[in-house]
Amino acid sequence: MGCTKNVVLKLPTAPTQITVEGHIEPGKLAYLYLSTNFSFFGNISITNILQNNVIHNAVVTINDGSTTDTIKEFIPEIGYYQSVSMTGQTGKTYSLTVRAIGQVATATTTILPAIALDSVWFHVQPHKDTLGFIWARLTSPLPPGHNYRWMAQRIGKDTTYIPPPYSVFNDQFIYGQTIQFAYQRGTFPSSKAADDTNAERGYYKIGETVSVKFCTIDNAAYTFFNTYSQQQASGGNPLASTSPVVGNIHGGQGIWCGYGTSYKTVICK
C-alpha cells in the first residue's frame, strides 16, 4: 500500500562559544551571566545546563575609557558576575572583555540619556472586572533614532523588573509625537506562580502597586531584544521561519546592554 524509508539526519554540532547576558545602568554595579551555548537539537534540562554550561573562573573586565574594573564571580551556581566598584554613568561607553574557555569575547555599549514617560496609569480591560494593563503616554523627541525598552515590577510580589513580550520598540514612526500605549504583565519562563498559570496571567490586578522601568537603549540592544522576541514567539511553531537572534558580542553570543533608565510608580485602582 505504501513505502517508507528510514532517514538518518547528520545534525551539525554547534561550536562551543561564550554566551553573555550583561547589563549596566546609571548608579548601579554592572552585572552579567556567563555560560556556553548548547546544541539546538541536544537534550536540555535545568540540571545539565547548570552543571555543564555555566562558565566559572572567567576573567572579566569593564573599561569606561579611563578606568578598568574587574568583574567578580558572585554566584557560581548560575554564572552570575558583578563589578566590584564601577557603576554606570549616563553618556559613558563601556567596553567589556571576557576571557574564558580559551576564548576572548568583547563588546561595547553606551548608556544613553533617559527619556521619561509623561505618565502611567492602570486600566481594567473590558469584561475583566479587576484585571487590566498598564498604560503610558510618551512624547518621543526629535531628532529620530531612539530605542526603548519597557520593564515592570509589582512591589512586594516580583523579585525584579520583568519585561513583557516584545518589550522593545523604536521611534521610526512616532518621533516628535505624543502616543499612548499599553503593556501586559511580563512573566518568567516556566513560572509556576498561581497568577502565572490561571486567568490572571499577563494581567495586573486592582490593589497592586507597580513600578515601571522605562529604558533608552542603543541600536544593538534594540536589535537583540527585538530578534529575541521574534524567536521566542515563533519557537513553538514548526512551520515558522527561523529568526536568528542578533547580539553585539564579538567572539561569542548574547548582549552587553547599557540602559538609560527612568522610573514611574502606579497604584492599580
Over residues 145-172, the mean pLDDT reads 96
For 33-84, what is each residue's pLDDT tens digit?
A: 999 988 776 666 666 666 788 999 999 999 999 999 999 999 998 999 999 9
What is the domain partition of the chain in residue ranges?
A: 18-110, 119-236+260-267
Could you give the CA distance from residue 22 to residue 95 in angstroms, rounded to a whole number? 11
- Determine the CATH number of domain 18-110: 2.60.40
Q: Is 148 exposed, middle or buried (0-12, 13-18, 19+ CB in 10 A)?
A: buried
Distance (Å) of CA 60 to CA 30, 52, 57, 103, 155:
11, 20, 9, 12, 33
For 81-107, what is each residue's pLDDT tens digit?
A: 999 999 999 999 999 999 999 999 999
Q: Residue 4 — φ and ψ, nearest 5°?
A: -130, 155
- The answer, yes or no, to whether residue 199 has pLDDT greater than 80, is yes
Number of residues that make up the chain: 269
Whole-model pTM: value is: 0.90
